[in-house]
Amino acid sequence: KRPLDLSQDCDVLLDLVKQHPDIKLLIVDPITGVFGNKNINKNEEANPVFEKLIDFCEASGIAFVGVLHVPKRTTNSSIEKIAGGTAVAGRAKSAFMLSRDPDSEDKHEHVLTMVKWNYASNMDGIKYMTVPATASWKGKQTSTVVIEWGEVITEIADDVLAKQNSKSVEHD
């Protein structure tokens, strides 16, 4: 057994989804974990993997969501926060940033904003809150959170980063 490696496994994935046509979405968290021995920070190594992934998505009709956890470095450029830099950002058709709401002190208030929007005519973001909830499964209860969607905002991800960074300077 070994982890999923998109540089080798797209054909196997395609066979799998052909056997299960109800599968419509593939989410990988984090996307950096499925590049095998390829360096996601090097375009010449990452681009062939992205080509295979794009071919897989087109052949299968599957939507792909790759999750990245951004580094802590300070920048006002959301593209620069993406691990893999231009290799990842250049291949993505859309990219979103989920982060704490810079206008709130409540750790449960967040914003979803656009980083890249090739196919979107609207760049608006949206506020949301994570709210405690209880879920039941097979007779057992567990604590979790649900999302309460809030108001539409006009900021993009770079605007949110600039606000967050100016706040950290004020607090230093």
**Residues 34, 35, 37, 39: is their CA dihedral positive or negative?**
negative
DSSP string, the chain: -----HHHHHHHHHHHHHH-TT--EEEESSGGGGSTTS-TT-HHHHHHHHHHHHHHHHHHT-EEEE--PPPS---S-TTTTSTTHHHHHHH-SEEEEEEE-TT---TTEEEEEEEEESS-S---EEEEEEEEEEEEETTEEEEEEEEEEEEEE---HHHHHHHHHHHHHHH-
Segment 73-114, tens digit of pLDDT: 777 777 777 766 666 777 777 888 899 999 999 999 999 999
Residue 67 has pLDDT above 60, yes or no: yes
In contact, 99 and 110? CB cutoff 8 Å: yes
- For residues 127 and 113, give the distance between their C-alpha atoms in angstroms, rounded to a whole number: 9
Task: Report pLDDT for 145.
Answer: 94
CA distance linking residue 142 with residue 128, whole number of Å: 22
| Position with higher pLDDT, 19 vs 171 | 19
pLDDT in tens, 109-143: 999 999 888 777 888 999 999 999 999 989 999 99
pLDDT score of 20 more than 90: yes
| Dihedral angle over CA of 44, 45, 50, 53, nearest 10 | 140
